[in-house]
């Protein structure tokens, strides 16, 4: 199963990104586990220096922005 990681410390932008990711999954009819990673040491392991960020199966797709559901759909595995 696909795993989506939302990387961020819990700010409003991070929560918005999580909501957009869940919306994208619903629109695309894709099943995936959404995981929120708030530990700064874990976030740095992804090479992310600006949050929020979104990774799919450990591969960072967006950094420092709230990706829209449409943008997220474009990078979801088929």
Report the distance separating Cα 68 and Cα 44, nearest Å.
23
Is the pLDDT assigned to residue 78 strictly greater than 80?
no
What letter does residue 45 receive in the DSSP assignment? Answer: H
Residue 62's pLDDT band (cuts 50, 70, 90): very high
Per-residue pLDDT tens over the stretch 46-60? 999 999 999 999 999
Catalytic site residue from 6, 7, 14, 25: 14
Catalytic site residue from 2, 9, 10, 11: 11
The tally of domains found in the chain comes to: 1
Range of the domain at 59: 2-75
- CATH code of the domain covering residue 45: 3.40.30.10
**No. of helices (H) and no. of strands (E), the chain:** 3, 4
Per-residue pLDDT tens over the stretch 5-48? 999 998 999 999 999 999 999 999 999 999 999 999 999 999 99
Report the distance separating Cα 6 and Cα 17, nearest Å.
7
Contact criterion met (CB below 8 Å) for 41 and 9: no
């Amino acid at each position: 199963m696909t795993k989506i990681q939302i990387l961020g410390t819990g700010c409003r932008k991070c929560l918005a990104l999580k909501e957009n990711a869940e919306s994208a999954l619903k629109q695309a009819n894709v099943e995936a586990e959404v995981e929120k990673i708030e530990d700064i040491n874990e976030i740095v392991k992804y090479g992310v220096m600006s949050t929020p960020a979104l990774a799919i199966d450990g591969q960072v797709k967006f950094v420092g922005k709230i990706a829209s559901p449409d943008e997220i759909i474009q990078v979801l595995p088929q």
